[in-house]
Amino acid sequence: LGSKEDAVAFAGLLAEKMTGEVDASLAMDFARCCSGRVTPVNSVIGGIAAQEVLKAISGVFSPIHQFLYFDAVELLPPMDQSNDFAPQGDRYDSLRAVIGQAAVERLQEQRWFVVGAGAIGCELLKNLALMGVGSANNRLKMEDEGGTATTPGIVVTDMDSIERSNLNRQFLFRPKDIGKSKAVA
């Protein structure tokens, strides 16, 4: 994950095998990121794949019959600092390989306010949690209007309570949560 040496070797191998012009920078980005994971990108691709399976099985709508091109190349920072993408032996190694340590730290130091814990809110909360948003251990001192310090984290608000019908599409809730407020559960 995140090896600059492997990326350079891949770009060289690609230049040998390909005819025509090869974008070495793009090849190095591909080599660096190919084993990395960005949860929201996985979520989008998984959602598209699931929808296509449902369309193909049900026969109600036409599945995609052409190529679907999806990229998020704008996420990729330049590979200037080789240590920024190096694995550290934690759960964020695959994310770090794509966006770098500086961006991982920025995610961990953020404070989010999420309105709604329904189906979309649950998916958003899952993605934020898997990326480590708000998980910094140290107390951040960010001045707000009142001059008080805030800590990283995710705050959820939802006035609804959990019903049995929520359990099949809102995967953050369990049968023991029925009747509780979504924001508390």
Higher pLDDT, 164 or 78: 164
DSSP, residue by residue, the chain = ---HHHHHHHHHHHHHH--S---HHHHHHHHHHTT---HHHHHHHHHHHHHHHHHHHH-SSPPP-S------GGGPPP---GGGGS--SSTTHHHHHHH-HHHHHHHHT-EEEEE--SHHHHHHHHHHHHTTTT--SSPP----TT-----SEEEEE---B--GGGGGT-TT--GGGTTSBTTT-
| pLDDT interval class at 169 (50, 70, 90) | confident
Query: Is residue 24 predicted with pLDDT exceeding 90?
Result: no
Q: Region 114-136: what's the mean pLDDT? A: 94
Domains and CATH numbers, the chain: 1-101 (3.40.50.12550), 109-185 (no CATH)
User: Residue 149's pLDDT is what?
Assistant: 53
User: Residue 55's pLDDT is what?
Assistant: 95
User: Residue 26's pLDDT is what?
Assistant: 85
